[in-house]
Chain A
């Protein structure tokens, strides 16, 4: 029997708190899960620093990847005899679903920003490079790895296949919303996925939703909206991200400073600092390794690096106030100078963070074809964009969804000996009276 058709002698299942069971019968999928590059995802948290806000959020990209695979497996089962569905694409869809996040690194978003990296590039490298994953995919068929890479990159010719893994209502989002809700413990993020799967219909180049299932999709859009504000954009998580980003900037700066020597040579970071990251280096750096360095950097001679690492490891985060760059530009410039006067380096300790700095998105109608929207399949066979038909979705789509926050170490300000200087900084940050900080 050809490798691509090989089935395990009996079905294997992974117990899963979100989908109850993840079912595996294909030998190829079983082998991919066992590959070292996939096992590495166990050591990368799905939500990065969110566990410092919601302590349950310790789940990994491994959990999520299995979840996306399971959802796609169920969708394909539902599509079996529907028009437009090409049964030959089954294994391709399953592999792409399983491997779609393979290139994520530790604290992916911060690392990408600081070191100008792209996890999608590394996904391609792992799928197409000299790896166990590539070896397995090429055993399926010569050129199969390239097909999987194309589906993940969204450049595969069959758009229907792409839209299962990546669209505004795809398996990726359906898994992470439910999984993140479960592990953070919030009561948002729940929607009737079974119902959505039942009303999904394949058409020529996308998956659409039978119009009778609109309310289930409204629920999904609503939970997406609530999760963004309650979990993903949580200001405390953003504070941890700000500190993490500054640690990486500081460590890179010190590496480039001739007269500074790390007590422990930062071997795993060197290629990142130099901007010469190759696949082998990339795969070696997981969150366990990053935490190891942060632990040791608390004993480095550089005061800023030491302090930032101590803050990150012990959750001594920055406080924040709302910030409006339009109305407060002059105040910002004054604050910058006052921080310098107070010998608190504003490059590291006075940070504006914007909602666009985060890697999450809202539902967008995309009516000008900048982005494919969710389409409802009407009884007459026509397609209608969701927000044109749903008052709830239209209402959410029109909401103001951006904000800017100013982060700073309030504990350091409280320690300032120059009372006049302290008072002026506090006045700018908090107005006349100091407000209570939100935890």
Chain B
């Protein structure tokens, strides 16, 4: 019961706060691609991989009182921040669940900007393509982001570090 919810609460417990919905979307996707067994289904959207299932599940966790959502007015948009609540921690403690250690991976992701994670998650999305075609695809589907060669090289290094971490 509620296994997928419990996995997400574990993530929020490790992350100790997540700033921004876009960042949250990309963090879970990248963790999925690094063999952390989140089961939320992703599709490609305007801003990269996006999971409606994840959005709804996080909304459920907030409504259940397991997560606290804070809405911050950033003048031209709202930003949403998430923290686990004591009820969320208690739920997690009652739940027996096998989950690989993801603390270091989560910490690595938390340090990065949502723009960078958008690039990394999009590169992961096209990881069945050879690297050159993958980079071409990035420029094709995200022309407005104007990712520089340095950012792309940094993303490639980061993807490798994420995959190697814990092995």
Is there contact, CB below 8 Å, between A356 and B20?
no
A contact patch SS:
loop
Selected from A333, A354, A361, the residue in CB contact (under 8 A) with B5 is A354
Number of A residues near B (Cβ < 8 Å) is: 32
Which residue in chain B gives the minimum CB-CB distance to A372?
B46
**B33 on interface, CB distance cutoff 8 Å:** no
Q: For chain B, residues 51 to 77, give those with C-beta under 8 angstroms from any C-beta of chain A.
A: 52-53, 55-57, 59-60, 63-66, 77
Is there contact, CB below 8 Å, between B20 and A368?
yes
Partner-binding segment picked from B37-45, B97-105, B150-158, B159-167: B37-45
Is there contact, CB below 8 Å, between B59 and A370?
no
Is there contact, CB below 8 Å, between B140 and A157?
yes
Selected from A118, A154, A329, the residue in CB contact (under 8 A) with B45 is A154
Is there contact, CB below 8 Å, between A155 and B91?
no
Bound together, the chains give a CA A350 to CA B59 distance in angstroms of 24
A365 CB to closest chain B CB, in angstroms?
A: 8
B16 CB to closest chain A CB, in angstroms?
A: 20
Identify 9 new A-B residue pairs, CB closer than 8 A, beyond the known A356-B60, A361-B52.
A154-B43, A155-B44, A155-B126, A157-B140, A205-B144, A325-B91, A371-B50, A372-B47, A401-B59
Is there contact, CB below 8 Å, between A367 and B78?
yes
**A326 on interface, CB distance cutoff 8 Å:** yes
**B94 on interface, CB distance cutoff 8 Å:** yes
**B110 on interface, CB distance cutoff 8 Å:** no
Which residue in chain B gives the minimum CB-CB distance to A204?
B144
Is there contact, CB below 8 Å, between B47 and A370?
yes
Is there contact, CB below 8 Å, between A371 and B2?
no
B42 CB to closest chain A CB, in angstroms?
A: 10
| Residues in A whose Cβ lies below 8 Å from that of B50 | 370-371
**A153 on interface, CB distance cutoff 8 Å:** yes
**B80 on interface, CB distance cutoff 8 Å:** yes
| Residues in A whose Cβ lies below 8 Å from that of B24 | 370
Bound together, the chains give a CA A210 to CA B79 distance in angstroms of 27
Is there contact, CB below 8 Å, between B78 and A325?
no
Give the A-binding residues of B (Cβ under 8 A). Answer: 1-2, 4-5, 20-22, 24-25, 41, 43-47, 50, 52-53, 55-57, 59-60, 63-66, 77-80, 87, 91, 94, 114, 126, 137, 140-141, 144
Which residue in chain A gives the minimum CB-CB distance to B62?
A402
| Residues in A whose Cβ lies below 8 Å from that of B57 | 354, 356
**A120 on interface, CB distance cutoff 8 Å:** yes
A376 CB to closest chain B CB, in angstroms?
A: 15
| Residues in B whose Cβ lies below 8 Å from that of A112 | 41
**A364 on interface, CB distance cutoff 8 Å:** yes
Is there contact, CB below 8 Å, between A325 and B56?
no
Selected from B4, B78, B140, the residue in CB contact (under 8 A) with A368 is B78
B36 CB to closest chain A CB, in angstroms?
A: 16
Selected from B5, B46, B141, the residue in CB contact (under 8 A) with A371 is B46
| Residues in B whose Cβ lies below 8 Å from that of A368 | 20-22, 77-80
Which residue in chain A gives the minimum CB-CB distance to B59?
A402
Which residue in chain A gives the minimum CB-CB distance to B77?
A367
List the 6 closest pairs (A to B, CB-CB), nearest first: A372-B46, A356-B56, A402-B60, A367-B77, A356-B57, A370-B22
Selected from A155, A356, A370, the residue in CB contact (under 8 A) with B53 is A356
Q: For chain A, residues 350 to 383, give those with C-beta under 8 angstroms from any C-beta of chain B.
A: 352, 354-356, 361, 364, 367-372
**A400 on interface, CB distance cutoff 8 Å:** yes
Which residue in chain B gives the minimum CB-CB distance to A163?
B46
Q: Contacts A354-B2, A368-B21, A402-B60 hold; do A329 and B94 have CB atoms under 8 A apart? A: yes
Bound together, the chains give a CA A352 to CA B137 distance in angstroms of 41
Bound together, the chains give a CA A367 to CA B79 distance in angstroms of 8
Which residue in chain A gives the minimum CB-CB distance to B126?
A155
Bound together, the chains give a CA A159 to CA B57 distance in angstroms of 28
Selected from A154, A372, A400, the residue in CB contact (under 8 A) with B63 is A400
Bound together, the chains give a CA A329 to CA B2 distance in angstroms of 11
**A404 on interface, CB distance cutoff 8 Å:** yes
B43 CB to closest chain A CB, in angstroms?
A: 7
Is there contact, CB below 8 Å, between B41 and A118?
yes
Which residue in chain B gives the minimum CB-CB distance to A153?
B44
| Residues in B whose Cβ lies below 8 Å from that of A206 | 46
| Residues in A whose Cβ lies below 8 Å from that of B55 | 361, 364, 370-371
Which residue in chain B gives the minimum CB-CB distance to A332?
B1
Bound together, the chains give a CA A368 to CA B2 distance in angstroms of 27
Is there contact, CB below 8 Å, between A325 and B5?
yes
Which residue in chain B gives the minimum CB-CB distance to A323?
B1
| Residues in B whose Cβ lies below 8 Å from that of A364 | 55
| Residues in A whose Cβ lies below 8 Å from that of B60 | 354-356, 402, 404
| Residues in B whose Cβ lies below 8 Å from that of A401 | 56, 59
Which residue in chain B gives the minimum CB-CB distance to A206?
B46
Which residue in chain B gives the minimum CB-CB distance to A406?
B1
B29 CB to closest chain A CB, in angstroms?
A: 11
Bound together, the chains give a CA A265 to CA B148 distance in angstroms of 57
| Residues in A whose Cβ lies below 8 Å from that of B45 | 154, 371-372
